[in-house]
Structure formats: C-alpha cells, structure tokens
Amino acid sequence: MQQIEARVMKMADGGFRPAFNAQLAVDTATQLIAGVDLVNIGSDMGQMVPMHEQIEQRYGHTPEHWLADGGYSKLQAIDEVAQRGTQPVMPPPRSKDPSSDPFTPKGTDSANVARWRAFMASEPAKELYKQRAASIECTNAQVRRRGLYRFLVRGGLKARGVLLWHALAHNLMRMRSLNIALQP
C-alpha cells in the first residue's frame, strides 16, 4: 500500500485546503460498502478503474453494471471497464459544441465506448442510473451523518484507517437493519 499525503484541493465552499478524496463502491441492493480507497487527487475521473480492479480482486468477479456519476466518465476508463465484462452506467460528458448529441457515437470512439453511448441513450439505462442516487448518495449521506466530514488525523495511513472504520461501522449498521447475521 502506497503512503499518500494530503494535497491542497478546492472545496465545495470555494476555499482551498489540504484534503483527501475518499472513494467508496457500494452494492445497490444492500447499500453495503464493497470497496474503499483514499486518494489525494481532487478529480474522480481516474478513479473508476482502480476501484473496479479492487472489487474484482476482492470478490473474484466483476459486477454486471457499474454506476457512477459524471465525474468518472473518462472514455479510456469506460473502455477498460467494458473490456472486463462490466457495463458502465454514467452520463456521457458534455461536448463543447452545444449542437452535438453526447449519446451519438463519435468517430474517435472505441467499440465499447460507442456501445456505452448507445446504452446510455436507452430507457433501461436511465432507469438503472436512478439506483445510483439511492445507493452511493444515500451511503455518503449516512457516513457524513455519522461524523465523516473531515479527517481529524494527519497522514494518509491514519486517514485511510478512519475511512475504513467508518465503512465498517456503516456496514455493521446496514447488516443490522437488513437482518443479516454474522457467520461464526
């Protein structure tokens, strides 16, 4: 595990402070946290593939669909995740040209990216994407409600430990509410 340190990032309030970017992967059916990562990069754009690899390594298979917000929609990552057998489900990036339809495949798109654009234009994809808000956004809100607004420790190793404790506490609370018993 690589040791990382906080990096100055732009905050939601417009200020700049040292920070980490916590990444969570959540099962949509149970809202259990399945993957955790801590990075010192302010953008989510490059984080989909490493989390997908973590899930594949941890559970031995890849999910059928990968729901993510628009901040993750890097075309190279969409291509990589699709090559591994998972259908990315996220809105396409907006074009600088307002007359360009983001769902129409571009001449530079790979076959996987073209399929993704066509899939995202469909009604089933739009319905599937609605699950993202009910899973990861709800989980983020619950974790924040339990006190994870900022890391009150110094260093990436300690911050990762705090994030893991929050994920564990969240999962135990979800398991209790879902009546999932721990196996001895």
Query: What tens digit of pLDDT does each residue of 8-53 get?
Result: 988 888 999 888 999 999 999 999 999 999 999 888 888 999 999 9
Secondary element (H or E) of residue 17? strand 16-19
Stated pTM of the model: 0.88
Mean pLDDT in each 10-residue stretch from start to end of the chain (184 residues)? Answer: 81 89 94 94 89 95 93 90 96 85 90 95 94 90 90 88 95 92 70
Instruction: State phi, psi for 132 to the nearest 5 degrees.
Output: -60, -45
